[in-house]
Amino acid sequence: MTEPHTTLEGRVALVTGASRGLGAAIARGYADAGAAVVAVARSVDQLEQVVQHDPERISAARLDVRDPDSARSLLEEAQATTVDALQELRSLVRGIHPPVLSDRGLVGAIEALAVDMKLPVDVEARLDGHPPAPVESAAYFAVAECLANAGKHADATRVTVQVHHADDTLHLAVEDDGHGGARADGDGGLTGIARRLNAFDGQLTVTSPDGGPTRVAMMVPCELSSAKT
């Protein structure tokens, strides 16, 4: 029964590797950094569950090995490394936040994206507070990716962005009047959005028949903080 040991070791390696790669992602721009932040946040949450909330699995891993002393030493080192990584990575996750989100909030940031588009973009949005910063960043980058797709690939003449919060869930939708045929598969941008939202138990649904329109609907469970904070 060495699977917990393997899983823990693998997760420690994943988080420490993600930490090293985060600086390079920042240098490539906020879009890449946003993807890295979401991936790191997901790894952090998984590690917390194993290290802090599931000690029996770690104990079992210590007992069922051929070399208990070596395994115990490795696990203790991994636990210590994980605690340090958790603290550092949570600071990084909090620190990477596009300035426009801090200055204007998610709705204002999306309105700024709309202004920069070459085609008309209607923004229908209302939020009575702020999502958690990592969720807000993920939502911002998701909408930015959808707008970029509409402008570059869809031959659209108009785009509508909708944002609201209901039933403890952030709802976003981007719809364009382009030629349709968009798919959230392979290694495309929509697949990347789905992966980032999944880090927060979010969902992405694409409706894009041939001939259009294309509608990308996104849902992320979260609470809003007060609009005054």
- Structure token pair of residue 215: 């509608």
- Alpha-carbon span 7 to 168, nearest angstrom: 32
pLDDT, tens digit, for every residue of 31-42? 444 445 545 555
Q: How confident is the model at residue 44, as a pLDDT?
A: 52
Q: How confident is the model at residue 102, as a pLDDT?
A: 87
Report yes or no: 174 and 146 within 8 Å, Cβ to Cβ: yes
- The single residue listed with the structure tokens 């936040």 is 97
Q: How confident is the model at residue 177, as a pLDDT?
A: 96
Q: How confident is the model at residue 59, as a pLDDT?
A: 53
Q: How confident is the model at residue 127, as a pLDDT?
A: 96
Residue ranges, the chain, pLDDT below 70: 1-96, 227-229
pLDDT, tens digit, for every residue of 60-77? 544 445 566 665 666 666
Q: How confident is the model at residue 23, as a pLDDT?
A: 43
Q: How confident is the model at residue 91, as a pLDDT?
A: 53
